[in-house]
């Protein structure tokens, strides 16, 4: 049989996204209004930024559950150092350095000490937020320069594009190129596909994973900065629970939880799909329980569908090559 | 209870094929109560397949098996256990945190009312250990037990299930000399109890010490079955080998140049000791020996996957840093590993991705990979090695074994190495592709590469190598030139450590 399956989860999620947009705009008055679209983009900005790092980690076969806590710690450090007289640019750098350091510690514990990333990052999920609590306690800092808070909240000129979007786009393009067009990206995929074969291919798996953990931490730091300015608030309980949304978005975008498979545009589509569905249901005034149920079903489908599609695809190709 | 000499098991003309490969082409085996029966043959002769059929792991396609005169259809491990067949594997799988007695009766604990009768469990285990002649305490934990004693516990477990045929697949491979002695005592006890023991071993000295009967297999068929008095080591070796070399080995003569790779006295006490050899430009040197003799570990050490404790490796006269595959690759060493599915390939990735894996430096500009160059690279090697696939992005998992092996070779040949190490380059691939792979290896030597080849297939070793180094239990026991080498000499060195035969 010459028929060849070219249908992948990444492409189907794009189709799904378009379908959701069409249905949503038909069933609500203002889904595609500029304000709502702008809302969707800015509501998902931290998740997207964190997902850019986490996708690399999941592809190598690891996971990071601590990203939302890193976000909170970076946010707290930003607020604390600004409140203690640091110029804003320095406070921002401190926040990102703290984020990177958190990621590095995760990576070190996982690779050098040899602990499982699930266990390590459950631990640091509590630890990093605990430190954030230690720094700010129940205080919130919400005095920031207007230029920066505007940057987190306003749109560009009179358009509907949030000011944070260009940053996301730049990071998105950068990380997409890194994953798909560089040796580093190829090695990331290779490690997830077979850590043993990666060693025989001359890849320094430990070093590679530490780098990926570190820039995941860095991206969580960036997300912390954006979050802080978007809500004009630095506090220890910023972003509670976001880690699950980040991981959901990656899985929804076709990244395999077993490692070795994933595309950047799949993840971007995944984030937008989750954000769009959420927005659609909100506009339809569907209550929170139902929104959660729909999100859950979407996620289960996203985990099951790529597995089933890939199985069917592999069987087809195998039949072809072995005949 | 069977009497000594009663026919317990008879296999006649047993056949087994896996897809296109014939594993057994008609094997006979007769086992009587109270005998120790050795099953001998080269790697791939079909011994393990035989044992697996008896254990119920595989079902035979043809031939008959009868147990105590009644026809028996294998098919499930449970059915085999009910027939009194028990398998003792090389690496026992005991529950380390349970006591020996608990391990013996795991899943079949005798009950007294609603509770397990622990007294009976312990007494029975003690009785079985006693019967086997080993002073093991049924109450101790399995953790910390030597491999040999763990095997004894497995044997006790088999006896508690009324096994009367005990199969052992290379039971002594992982044992030290004193442990081997202990296991032999146990085998004698089993014999005295009128049980039958079938065991596979490559150590001929042991085989002649303990067995009553020896069955030799070759290419999936029984060659001979003799009582130990009627045969001798020379005869057995000849029967194990006895095969003509054909054009399967398209070896050509090339000029042999300067020393490229020099291994000097490297030792990693866990796997090998004092290994020294040289490989010259244009030369193919084979590392022969049994599986587990430390050959692959030497290759891994040279390439830098593992470290070694002492000694050194030099490439073109300069010291090679140990333990770094990256440095080894920079020094133009390539290793085509033993296990292509686990070590050589990224199975879910495309053929193109796999071939490109080691050639990024030539495929990228300043930062980014050039997909066009990558495509060209894939096409070049597809044509050179005639690798068959439909689309370059097909996962290698979808390719046949032979094409997978060619993909691994392509990946490494694309780096244009000076030193090519190939570990079991033709394992599990069909004869036609084997010949192609041999041709590629010969061509690599012809281009002036230094080739180190590890192979368990003697004909391959003899057919391809300019020089043969034989390893046995981590030691280098013989070095034979192409014209001196015979199968008998290599086997003798690999199994007994003796240099002549």
Q: Are residues B454 and B492 in the same domain?
A: yes
A5: confidence class by pLDDT, cuts 50, 70, 90: very low
A4: confidence class by pLDDT, cuts 50, 70, 90: very low
Q: Does B390 touch chain A (CB under 8 A)?
A: yes
Q: What is the ipTM of this complex?
A: 0.85
Of A8-12, B151-155, B490-494, least confident by mean pLDDT is A8-12
Q: How far apart are CA B27 and CA B62, in angstroms?
A: 10
Q: Which domain holds residue B134?
A: 7-241
Cα nearest neighbour of B299 on chain A: A200
Q: Are residues B318 and B460 in the same domain?
A: yes
User: What is the phi/psi pair of residue B67, to 5°?
Assistant: -115, 120
The answer to whether the CB atoms of B342 and A182 lie below 8 A apart is no
Could you say which of B217, B241, B265 is where a domain stops?
A: B241
- Does residue B424 belong to any structural domain of this protein? yes
Three-state DSSP at A148 gives helix
Q: Are residues B12 and B133 in the same domain?
A: yes
From A219's Cα to the closest Cα of chain B, the distance in A is: 22
Q: Answer whether residue B245 shows pLDDT above 60.
A: no
Q: Are residues B280 and B394 in the same domain?
A: no
Query: B337: which chain A residues are within 8 Å (Cβ-Cβ)?
Result: 200
- Does residue B340 belong to any structural domain of this protein? no
pLDDT digit string, tens, across residues B445-456:
999 999 999 988
DSSP state of B315: E
- Does residue B205 belong to any structural domain of this protein? yes
Q: Are residues B257 and B368 in the same domain?
A: no
Q: Are residues B447 and B356 in the same domain?
A: no
Q: Are residues B356 and B485 in the same domain?
A: no
Q: Answer whether residue B426 shows pLDDT above 90.
A: no
The answer to whether the CB atoms of A197 and B329 lie below 8 A apart is no
DSSP-assigned states of every residue in B21-70 = EEEEEEEEEEEETT-EEEEE--TTSSHHHHHHHHHTSS--SEEEEEETTE
- Does residue B53 belong to any structural domain of this protein? yes
From B396's Cα to the closest Cα of chain A, the distance in A is: 9
The answer to whether the CB atoms of A186 and B345 lie below 8 A apart is no
Given the DSSP bridges, would you call strands B284-289 and B310-315 parallel, antiparallel or unpaired? unpaired
Could you give the residue ranges of the DSSP H alpha helices within B138-176? 147-160
Share of chain B above pLDDT 90, in %: 47
Report the C-alpha dihedral over residues A32, A37, A38, A40, rounded to 10 degrees. 150
Query: A261: which chain B residues are within 8 Å (Cβ-Cβ)?
Result: 348
Q: Are residues B163 and B77 in the same domain?
A: yes
How many domains is chain B partitioned into structurally?
3
Q: How far apart are CA A21 and CA A10, in angstroms?
A: 17
Q: What is the CATH number of the domain that holds B251?
A: 3.40.50.300
pLDDT digit string, tens, across residues B155-193:
999 888 888 999 998 887 767 667 788 888 889 999 998
pLDDT of residue B491: 85
- Does residue B292 belong to any structural domain of this protein? yes
Q: Answer whether residue B80 shows pLDDT above 60.
A: yes
- Does residue B2 belong to any structural domain of this protein? no
The answer to whether the CB atoms of B346 and A260 lie below 8 A apart is yes
Q: Are residues B283 and B370 in the same domain?
A: no
Higher pLDDT, B496 or B410: B410
Cβ-based burial of A54 (10 A; exposed 0-12, middle 13-18, buried ≥19): buried
What mean pLDDT value characterizes chain A?
88
- Does residue B322 belong to any structural domain of this protein? yes
**E strands in B76-231:** 85-88, 111-112, 115-116, 165-169, 196-200, 213-218, 221-227
Share of chain A above pLDDT 90, in %: 55
Q: Are residues B388 and B424 in the same domain?
A: no
pLDDT digit string, tens, across residues A266-312:
999 999 998 898 888 888 888 888 888 887 888 788 778 767 877 77
pLDDT of residue B344: 94
Q: How far apart are CA B339 and CA B460, in angstroms?
A: 18
Q: What is the 3-state secondary structure (H, E, C) of B431-481?
A: HHHHHHHHHHHHHHHHCCCEEEEECCCHHHHHHHCCEEEEEECCEEEEEEE
Query: B346: which chain A residues are within 8 Å (Cβ-Cβ)?
Result: 189-190, 193-194, 197-198, 260
Q: Answer whether residue B1 shows pLDDT above 60.
A: no
- Does residue B341 belong to any structural domain of this protein? no
Given the DSSP bridges, would you call strands B221-227 and B259-268 parallel, antiparallel or unpaired? unpaired
From A46's Cα to the closest Cα of chain B, the distance in A is: 28
pLDDT of residue B61: 86
Higher pLDDT, A319 or B462: B462
Could you say which of B195, B211, B241 is where a domain stops?
A: B241
Q: Are residues B377 and B449 in the same domain?
A: no
Q: Does A189 touch chain B (CB under 8 A)?
A: yes
Q: Answer whether residue A128 shows pLDDT above 80.
A: yes
pLDDT digit string, tens, across residues B5-58:
788 899 999 998 876 667 888 889 999 999 999 998 876 678 888 888 998 888
Higher pLDDT, B27 or A102: A102
**E strands in B354-393:** none
Q: Are residues B87 and B148 in the same domain?
A: yes
The answer to whether the CB atoms of A186 and B389 lie below 8 A apart is no
Could you say which of B241, B264, B282 is where a domain stops?
A: B241
């Amino acid at each position: 049989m010459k028929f060849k399956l070219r249908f992948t989860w990444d492409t189907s999620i794009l189709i799904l996204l378009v379908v959701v947009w069409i249905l949503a705009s038909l069933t609500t008055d203002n889904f595609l209004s500029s304000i709502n679209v702008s809302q969707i983009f800015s509501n998902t900005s931290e998740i997207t930024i964190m997902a850019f790092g986490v996708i690399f980690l999941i592809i190598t076969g690891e996971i990071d559950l601590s990203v939302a806590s890193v976000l909170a710690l970076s946010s707290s450090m930003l607020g604390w150092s600004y409140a203690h007289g640091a110029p804003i640019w320095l406070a921002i750098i401190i926040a990102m350095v703290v984020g990177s350091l958190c990621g590095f510690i995760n990576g070190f514990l996982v690779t050098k000490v040899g602990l499982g990333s699930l266990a390590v990052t459950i631990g640091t999920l509590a630890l990093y937020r605990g430190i954030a609590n230690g720094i700010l306690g129940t205080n919130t800092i919400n005095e920031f320069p207007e230029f920066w808070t505007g940057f987190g909240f306003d749109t560009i000129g009179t358009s509907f594009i949030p000011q944070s979007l260009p940053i996301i786009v730049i990071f998105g393009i950068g990380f997409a190129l890194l994953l798909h067009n560089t040796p580093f990206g190829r090695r990331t995929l290779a490690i997830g596909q077979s850590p043993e074969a990666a060693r025989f291919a001359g890849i320094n798996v430990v070093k590679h994973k530490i780098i990926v953990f570190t820039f995941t931490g860095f991206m969580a730091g960036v997300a912390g900065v954006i979050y802080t300015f978007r809500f004009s608030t630095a506090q220890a309980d910023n972003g509670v629970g976001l880690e699950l949304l980040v991981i959901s978005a990656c899985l929804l975008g076709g990244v395999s939880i077993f490692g070795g498979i994933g595309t950047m545009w799949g993840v971007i589509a995944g984030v937008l799909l989750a954000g769009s569905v959420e927005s659609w249901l909100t506009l339809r005034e569907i209550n929170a329980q139902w929104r959660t149920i729909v999100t859950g079903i979407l996620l289960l489908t996203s985990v099951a569908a790529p597995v089933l599609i890939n199985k069917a695809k592999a069987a087809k190709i195998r039949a072809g090559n072995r005949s | 209870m069977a009497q000594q000499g009663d026919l317990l098991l008879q296999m006649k003309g047993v056949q087994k094929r896996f897809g296109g490969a014939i594993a057994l082409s008609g094997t006979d085996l007769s086992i009587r109560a109270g005998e120790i029966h050795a099953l001998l043959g080269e790697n791939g002769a079909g011994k393990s397949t035989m044992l697996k059929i008896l254990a119920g792991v595989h079902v035979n396609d043809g031939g008959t098996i009868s147990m105590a005169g009644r026809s028996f259809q294998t098919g499930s491990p449970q059915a085999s256990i009910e027939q009194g067949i028990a398998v003792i594997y090389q690496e026992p799988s005991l529950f380390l945190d349970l006591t020996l007695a608990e391990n013996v009766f795991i899943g079949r604990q005798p009950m007294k009312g609603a509770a397990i009768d622990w007294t009976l469990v312990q007494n029975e285990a003690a009785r079985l250990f006693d019967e086997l002649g080993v002073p093991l305490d049924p109450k101790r934990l399995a953790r910390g037990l030597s491999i040999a004693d763990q095997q004894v516990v497995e044997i006790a477990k088999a006896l508690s299930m009324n096994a009367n045929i005990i199969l052992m697949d290379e039971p002594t491979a992982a044992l030290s000399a004193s442990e081997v002695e202990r296991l032999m005592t146990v085998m004698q006890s089993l014999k005295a109890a009128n049980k039958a023991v079938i065991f596979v071993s490559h150590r001929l000295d042991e085989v002649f010490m303990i067995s009553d009967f020896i069955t030799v297999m070759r290419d999936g068929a029984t060659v001979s079955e003799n009582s130990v008095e009627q045969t001798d080591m020379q005869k057995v070796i000849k029967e194990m080998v006895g095969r003509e070399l054909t054009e399967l080995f398209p070896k050509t003569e090339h000029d042999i140049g300067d020393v490229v790779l020099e291994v000097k006295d490297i030792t990693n006490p866990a796997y090998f000791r004092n290994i020294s050899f040289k490989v010259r430009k244009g030369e193919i040197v084979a590392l022969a020996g049994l599986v587990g003799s430390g050959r692959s570990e030497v290759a891994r050490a040279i390439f830098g996957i593992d470290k070694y404790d002492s000694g050194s490796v030099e490439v073109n006269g300069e010291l090679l840093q140990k333990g770094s595959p990256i440095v080894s690759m920079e020094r133009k060493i390539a290793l085509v590993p033993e296990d292509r599915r686990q070590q050589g390939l990224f199975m879910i990735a495309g053929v193109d991705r796999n071939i490109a894996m080691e050639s990024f430096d030539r495929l990228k500009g300043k930062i980014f990979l050039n997909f066009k160059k990558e495509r060209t690279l894939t096409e070049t090697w597809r044509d050179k090695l005639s690798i068959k696939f439909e689309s370059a992005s097909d996962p290698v998992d979808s390719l046949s074994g032979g094409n997978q092996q060619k993909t691994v070779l392509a990946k490494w040949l694309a780096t244009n190495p000076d030193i090519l190490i190939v570990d079991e380059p033709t394992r599990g691939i069909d004869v036609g592709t084997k010949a192609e792979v041999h041709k590629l290896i010969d061509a690599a030597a012809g281009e002036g590469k230094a080739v180190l080849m590890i192979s368990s297939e003697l004909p391959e070793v003899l057919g391809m190598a300019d020089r043969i180094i034989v390893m046995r239990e981590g030691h280098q026991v013989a070095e034979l030139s192409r014209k001196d080498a015979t199968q008998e000499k290599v086997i003798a060195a690999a199994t007994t450590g003796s240099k002549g035969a």
